[in-house]
Structure 1
Amino acid sequence: MDIYNLIFVQLISKFEEIRDTMKKGIDQLDDNELNFRPNYESNTIANLVVHIEGNINQRIGTGIHGYQDIRSRSDEFNRELYVSKDDLLNRIDDSFNFLIDNVKELHNEDLLRKIDVRGKEKSIYEVLQQCATHYSEHLGQILYITKICRGSSYNLTSIHKKTY
């Protein structure tokens, strides 16, 4: 396997892991818990999922493909936003499938192609690495809110409980 194929496999694997872990956390909650705000300054899980969706559409659709940018970042963090569990799970599947499908379609030379991100030139590889980091950070927030809501009934998403 050459280095480019290794990079593509790693990126796809990381995005699949983030998507699947996010869904495992969300599956444990009801609509009200998914829209619960731990405090005034915090986001809800719904806000975070809508934000990730907007980021994927902007970075991949607008950044890589040149689609018109229709993102409204401020709407992603609207305090009145209320999204159902089913809608959140669909948004996760749709946005991450869009991301993963687009990574699968990239060619080796695309990784070094420069695109504009907030007025700075970045390679597509840099953008995808930044996305993986960004979504992982928000995944941590999602799982933390899930733990707050579930307490001792929280089901681990990445480590299996040992039975002795």
Structure 2
Amino acid sequence: MTAVAELYLSDVRGRMRGVKVLGDGALAQLGATDWHTPLASGGNSAAVLVQHLAGNMHSRWAGLRGGYSAGTEGESAVRNRDAEFEEGELNGATLLRRWEEGWQVFLDALDHLTPGDLTRPLTIRGEVHTVLEAVQRQVAHYSGHVYQLILLVKTLRGPAWQTLSIPRGGSAAYNSALLSETAEPGAT
């Protein structure tokens, strides 16, 4: 079981760093005036998504940055979740700093978890989860919001959008390059 837990932690650490890279790529394409632009009335802007993700990451994971500690509550008493969804006037540089700080908290916590921690209890708003359940909950949550962010920025950028993955029409070239990298030396 320990081997599976180690494999899981290694995978989730890498995958969540990959999700962050996608978000970084989207945010890098925002213009100064785009941060506070939702796609529809009542929708979330990039600023709101960043505020919410950062707030959630600090609340859920700050207590685990140095490793698991029994009795850790995954909802900070000082968090004001509703304020995260209010459109403010923060500039892009401030929002990027919050984005980086939030991800640092989450990734630090992941890096300090051990295989044995995954079955330990962690409460979130008084509801008991295993650490594994709490991590999986956040993997889905954070990935969902990052993909919202990508859609938002892609829509705002229109034809100026720079893809974050394999470009349309580029799958064959990508696969060919990937296969040539993994081919054994001397194989024909």
Question: What TM-score do the two structures reach when normalised by structure 1?
Answer: 0.89
Give the Å deviation of 1:8: 1.1
Give the Å deviation of 1:88: 2.2
Q: Kindly indicate whether residue 121 of structure 2 is the aligned counterpart of residue 114 of structure 1.
A: yes
Q: What is the alpha-carbon distance in structure 2 between the residues aligned to residue 62 and residue 45 of structure 1? A: 27
User: Where does residue 6 of structure 2 map in the other structure?
Assistant: 5
User: Where does residue 42 of structure 1 map in the other structure?
Assistant: 43
Give the letter aligned to residue 119 of structure 1: G
Give the match's secondary structure for 2:17: helix
Give the Å deviation of 1:50: 0.8
Select 1:102's aligned residue among 105, 109, 112: 109
Identity level (%): 23
Give the letter aligned to residue 18 of structure 1: V
2:57–2:106: 8 Å Cα contact kept in structure 1?
yes
Give the letter aligned to residue 91 of structure 1: R
User: Where does residue 180 of structure 2 map in the other structure?
Assistant: none
Question: What TM-score do the two structures reach when normalised by structure 2?
Answer: 0.78
Q: Kindly indicate whether residue 131 of structure 2 is the aligned counterpart of residue 124 of structure 1.
A: yes
User: Where does residue 77 of structure 2 map in the other structure?
Assistant: 69
2:57–2:102: 8 Å Cα contact kept in structure 1?
yes
Larger Rg: 2
2:62–2:109: 8 Å Cα contact kept in structure 1?
no
Give the match's secondary structure for 1:31: coil
Give the letter aligned to residue 84 of structure 2: E
Select 1:133's aligned residue among 140, 145, 153: 140
- Residues 21-54 of structure 1: per-residue CA shift (max 9 Å, x gap): 1010010112210111222210111100110111
Give the Å deviation of 1:146: 0.5
Runs of 4+ in 1 over 3 A off after TM superposition: 62-68
Give the Å deviation of 1:62: 4.9
1:25–1:143: 8 Å Cα contact kept in structure 2?
yes
Q: What is the alpha-carbon distance in structure 2 between the residues aligned to residue 15 and residue 90 of structure 1? A: 18
Give the letter aligned to residue 46 of structure 1: A
Give the match's secondary structure for 2:44: coil
User: Where does residue 92 of structure 1 map in the other structure?
Assistant: 99
Select 2:164's aligned residue among 153, 157, 163: 157
Q: What is the alpha-carbon distance in structure 2 between the residues aligned to residue 34 and residue 124 of structure 1? A: 33
